Amino acid sequence: MLELAAVCLLAVTQAMSGEAIAEKIANRIADDERTGQITFTLRDSKGRERERTARLAVRETDEVSRMLLLFDRPANIRDTAFLSFDYVAPEAADETWLFLPSTERVRRIPSTDRSGRFMATELTYGDVKDDFKFGLADYDFEAGGEKNGRLVLIGTSKSPQVARETGYGGFRAEIDPETWFPMLIDFADPEGEPLKTIEVNEVQRVGDSWTAKSFEVVNHKTGRSTSVRVDDSRVARGLSATLFDARDLDRAGSQLP
Amino acid sequence: MKAIGSAGMARTTGNRTWQDILLAAPWLTVLISLLPLFWFVYGLTLVQKDSSVDAFVANDHPAVAARDFARETFGIEDPIIVVFAEKEGKSALNEPLLSALRAFTEEVQEIGGVAPGVMSLASKRAIVTNDAGDLEAPLIVGDPIDPEAAEQLVASMPPFQGTLIAHTGDALAAIVPVDDPNHAEQVVSEVRNLAQRLAPPGVEVHLTGVATMNSRLAERIADDTKVFLPLAAVVIALFLLWALKRPTAIIAPFIVVAGAAIVAVGSIGLMDGRYYLITTALPVVVMAIAVADSIHLTLAFQRQRRLHPELSRRAAMGRAMRDVATPIILTSVTTALGFLGLAVGSPMVPVAEFGLVAAAGTMAAGVLSLTFLPAVQVYLADRKGAGTSASWMDRILRGLATASAERPLLACILTGFFLAVALAFALQVRFDYERDNYFLAGDPVLQADQILQERFDGGNVVDLIVDTGEDGGLLTADAVAKVDDLQQRFEALEGIRTVSAFSEQISLMHERLTGAQPGSLPTSDHAPAEYMLLYEASGEPEDFDNQIDFGRRYTRLRGHAATGKFSANEPLVEELASIAADASADTGIDVQVSGRLAVNDGWMKALRASHARTIGAAVLFVFIATVVVLSSLRQGLIAIVPVMTGILLLYAAMAVFGIDLAPATSMCAAIAAGLGVDFGIHLTKALKAEPKSPGQLLPAGYDTVMRACLFSALSLAAGFCVVATSGTPVLRWFGLLIASSAVGSLLGALILIPALTALYQRGKQKAHA
């Protein structure tokens, strides 16, 4: 029965336009508050690895998405806290802070453009902000049919300026029609050359929303890659407001379990 | 050797000697003798070039291992360095040049063979702190670029002074890492074209760095190869024509020398060797050696035709072969053994391979001279009826030899005095190496290197590689303090201009984040890791890749020395090794010496340690073979005398012309040993073999052998003078030195062999009396 349902769903969704698919993805439910533990495994082109683990707290509203990373490992960055405010309104500049325990100071990090690398990973700040969605104002969309039971969505940057801002000239994504989650995204650079691939290995449902539990980003230009894994994800309503207050970042460690 | 030498000459098949068999069906002999050459022609197609200077150092040398590790870990070993030079005194931080540098830094990454991590002011960031919260900021920003802002930021970053911008402020450098610095000709060419296309008017573009130098040497090899072979062919043709008198007589010798060269070079491909810088001289060396056998055999044939006009051509050639076959085999074997001495004694792969393939070429020349050559010369070199009167040359040679034989003591004393003077000079020769010596004054790559040396910190780098023992171990206050201490001790060494270290960057971050005193270091143990995390949050984590590894376990301290000269840097490298050893023992972190100067130091020390052994092995091989083939210790000792005079003159020439013992020049003496013994063997054999006429001190055929030796020596000297036309000074010296040794060996043979033989005979007569 389930298989039959899936086939029927695919048949229905295959008739959708690219724009319609992109909207479905953009309107995917995102839970307002959640916590978890996130592990970044960074690899260089020779396969050497570096791992960082942090406690994660996310609070999303219609206006802003707040994310706190409280690093636990390696030991020499324990209690270092990273806080970001990503505003939905395009005219609002995103904000980022870092608390360094050794200096006992909170540093405001200048707003980085969307194509800038996120914390030495192969993700960009734009990737983190978009959270597996595609900016409707950034791309022209086209449905690319079906592959392996997934819908294929092709996006092309609306202009060279957008391509420069995002760092992407376009993409080709395979979308799970049940969760509206992109399971595989191949990004091209502004010149149209293959740039990087994000492959989602596992998704999980947290509250009402689907999130990536494990995914891999491979940069084809540099050979570097990053694996990301989120464990112990849970809905965590009622998180203290001070947890997402830059002035209180030095106390975040005691507030986040 | 005796079995080959004497018994072989008498060996018959029925009533026919092996010479008769070879000459009975000359065209079959020609076919069979030339057939194996096709295998070596195939070998030619397999030859691969390796123009790197590092080819001389053993791969398992610790300095090479450390250098390879550094290349793998930090990525900018042996790069192409591009210098954009304004007129002296004019600031390079102007809008057109900064725009060009930015465009170059971006576009050069697209060139195939360029490795990631191009460094220039356009790729680097300043560590700053400002109201916006930045910890880093690109040095070149804006469109159009604001040169004043760039100037302020560059001034705030001392680590870039002397590396990416000239101390004088009038030139900028871009450091372009390449995938394979030993085979970067195409990459260097494309990088040069790009830089020249982007450079604003009035800005000079210069390329240097090890990859550029290797590429330049490869160009030189190609240029030399184009010149050497035709020029050597012309010179050899002229000498053959002079010696053999008939134009048709030089055809077969030409094929012999070409065949020997093909065997030598083809052997490189067949044994999966490489065509190194010094291999450029190989074809000419082998050709010059091969021509001697042809001259000896052909002159002997012409002499038989002159003395015995009643004999048929084949019979005359048979006799000629009987006369010279033994010396040709003996000299081929001894010369080959001299080359094998290089293969056995030298720890340097290019030198050892040179010895091996030159030995193969020498033996091929001997074989072709006794098979192919007589089968053809019997038709093409005949000079029946030519005059029998002695030429002026013969008269001079006979006069010299007779005078030596008549007054042997005087000849020995005079020659001994001359050799003592030569020895006094030879003892002044020293081991030294300087990279600049590989290029002629005025060479573009040398000019670029000079600019780098004068306006920047220079390209003579020596490194310390620090291993903290665990990933992340570098990002502690304690480790940074240890690195800082190492940097200070490194910088205090005499001959070191500047040292760059990762601790400088941490110090800058500490100063700009906390307002600490310039140059101070964080004391909180986790501070370096946190600073780096902060930097990575806004900047590119790869900004420090040339100083720290991905795992944050290793770091490299890079020192720039005032000179690249081995003799000047030897104590420096030793002191640095001592600092590294002390640091390892005292602090628990492992410290190794690496970098270009350490690699050079490693292979120069290996050369110095092995040089006497290499030359000794070559001379010993030659001596033992000579004693065995001449079946006499006394004759062996006499025959080896020209070897010693040749070698002595060679070292004396090195001292007179100020030539250092370096990889290429170090092999000259071993080659000279193999060449010099030829004259000794031919003349000693001639003195022993032919009965003297009454009242004559020297045998009748001695003139012909002396003449053949003279032509051989002159053709050798001329052949090596061809090498001396090289565009690379090292090869020039190589040619000059071997030519000197050929002349020294000839003079020693012509004067001392008759004198020593006469002295021996007088002693023997006294003993009998």
Interhelix angle B477-491/B502-514, rounded to 10 degrees, is 120
Cβ separation of B537 and A109 shorter than 8 Å? yes
What helix, strand, coil percent values describe chain A, rounded to 5?
Answer: 20, 45, 35
Q: Which helix (H) or strand (E) holds B728?
A: none
Distance CA B482, CA B485 (A): 5
Contact status, residue A213 vs residue A230, Cβ threshold 8 Å: yes
Q: Looking at residue A169, what DSSP letter applies?
A: S
Q: In this predicted structure, what is the pLDDT of residue B12?
A: 44
Distance CA B561, CA B457 (A): 8
Cβ separation of A102 and B135 shorter than 8 Å? no
Please name the fold of domain B2-54+214-384+391-427+601-768.
Multidrug efflux transporter AcrB transmembrane fold (1.20.1640)
Q: In this predicted structure, what is the pLDDT of residue B137?
A: 73
Query: Phi and psi (nearest 5°) for A237?
Result: -70, 150
Give CA separation, A226 vs A50, A75, A196, B648, in Å.
9, 20, 11, 66
Tokens standing for B88?
């002296």
Q: Residue B424: CA atoms inside 13 Å, Cβ hemisphere, count?
A: 5
Q: Of the CATH numbers 3.40.50.300, 3.30.1330.80, 2.50.20.10, 2.60.200.20, which one belongs to the domain with range A2-255?
A: 2.50.20.10
- Classify B306 in phi/psi space as left (phi over 0), alpha (psi -120 to 50) or beta: alpha
> Which residues of chain A neighbour B134 with C-beta distances below 8 Å?
110
Cβ separation of B527 and A78 shorter than 8 Å? no
Per-residue pLDDT reduced to its tens digit, A85-106: 988 887 788 888 889 898 888 8
Q: What is the ipTM of this complex?
A: 0.90
Distance CA B441, CA B303 (A): 50
**Single-letter residue type at B326:** T
Q: Which helix (H) or strand (E) holds B220?
A: helix B210-244
User: Among all residues of chain A, which has the CA nearest to that of B530?
Assistant: A77
Distance CA A64, CA B681 (A): 96
Nearest alpha carbon to residue B248 among B442, B60, B381:
B381
DSSP string, A29-92: ---SEEEEEEEEEEE-TT--EEEEEEEEEEEE-SSEEEEEEEEEESGGGTT-EEEEEEESSTTS
CA distance B541 to chain A (A): 6
Distance CA A97, CA B195 (A): 40
Note whether A64 contacts B: Cβ–Cβ < 8 A. Answer: no
CA distance A233 to chain B (A): 24
- Sorted by where each begins, the domain ranges of chain B are 2-54+214-384+391-427+601-768, 73-212+442-595
> Which residues of chain A neighbour B536 with C-beta distances below 8 Å?
117, 119-120
* Average pLDDT for chain B: 85
Number of DSSP helices (H) and strands (E) in chain B, helices first? 28, 13
Distance CA A4, CA A19 (A): 26
- Sorted by where each begins, the domain ranges of chain A are 2-255
Distance CA B638, CA B296 (A): 21
Q: In this predicted structure, what is the pLDDT of residue B503?
A: 94
Per-residue pLDDT reduced to its tens digit, B363-420: 999 999 999 999 998 888 776 655 545 577 788 888 888 888 889 899 999 999 999 9
Give the mean model confidence (pLDDT) for residues A162-169: 91
Mean pLDDT for each consecutive 10-residue tract of chain B (769 residues)? 34 63 84 92 88 66 73 77 90 91 92 88 78 66 79 82 90 91 89 96 92 85 80 84 84 91 93 83 83 86 85 88 85 83 76 90 93 89 59 82 89 92 93 84 88 88 92 93 95 93 91 87 93 83 85 93 92 95 90 87 84 84 83 88 91 92 82 81 76 62 82 81 82 86 89 88 77
Look-up: residue for tokens 């001299």?
A: B338
CA distance B556 to chain A (A): 18
DSSP string, B543-595: GGTTTB-TTS-EEEEEEEES---HHHHHHHHHHHHHHHHHHHHHHS-EEEEES
Distance CA A244, CA A99 (A): 12
State pTM to two decimals: 0.78
